[in-house]
Amino acid sequence: MSHDDVLNPKHMPHDPEKATLEGKNKFVGFWMFLGGETVLFASLFGTYLALSGSTSGDNTPENLFGLELVFIMTMLLLTSSLTSVYAMYHMKNHNFKKMQLWLGVTVLLGLGFLGCEIYEFYHYIHEYGFTFRSSAFGSGFYTLVGFHGGHVLFGLFWITSLMIRNQKRGLNLYNAPKFYISSLYWHFIDVVWVFIFTVVYLLGKVG
């Protein structure tokens, strides 16, 4: 049996993402990365929490944040998490076309989220003069929320390139782990956002 036959079996196994040694390694390795990311984001959250009281002028969390936009962003990201679950459901049923379709929807929702975030930052900078350098609160805020936004951007590039690269190949045991860990990454982005909307926006409004 050649290497190609191993990766393209007649009957796909139950968990195509963990059927090969490479897949298993990717799976554990990626979880290690996520454990590290948890600590990384914790240090950004810690910095933000410690500095969010050091404001300048009227630009306090209470005055700046508008919950309507944050609510829309939350719904977009939360729904995109569900659509990537749908994509992985179709992967497990070996339905490549439907998986691609739901990954596409996930990417669109992620783009919507990113658009809202860019609008939000633009609004703060031009309407309020609230920038990275205006106060320690500003630095903490843009570092934390911007770093999360950077993760969203990277996730979009990642999923889109996987979709394009594998479009003609179809699903096999070589690319199934790749699709699976990209969806784990996307869920992790949502995990971080849940804490951002709670700690930064909601608790910021409560004061």
Residues that bind other proteins (CB under 8 A): 11, 14-15, 18, 27-28, 31-32, 34-39, 41-43, 45-47, 49-51, 67, 71, 74-75, 78, 81-82, 85-86, 89, 92-93, 184, 187-188, 190-191, 194-195, 197-199, 202-203, 205-206
Helix axes 136-165, 96-128, angle to 10 degrees: 160
Of 102 and 124, CB closest to other proteins: 102
What is the DSSP secondary structure assignment for residue 17, as one 8-state letter? G
What's the residue count for the chain?
207
Instruction: Work out how close the CB of 51 gets to other proteins at its nearest, in angstroms, rounded to a whole number.
Output: 7
Q: For the residues of 94-112, what is the DSSP string, one character each?
A: T-HHHHHHHHHHHHHHHHH
From CA 23, how far away is CA 93, in angstroms rounded?
17
Instruction: Work out how close the CB of 168 gets to other proteins at its nearest, in angstroms, rounded to a whole number.
Output: 25
Sign of CA dihedral 201, 205, 206, 207: positive
Of 49 and 108, CB closest to other proteins: 49
Sign of CA dihedral 163, 159, 84, 3: positive
Instruction: Work out how close the CB of 191 gets to other proteins at its nearest, in angstroms, rounded to a whole number.
Output: 5
Instruction: Work out how close the CB of 126 gets to other proteins at its nearest, in angstroms, rounded to a whole number.
Output: 26
Of 73 and 162, CB closest to other proteins: 73
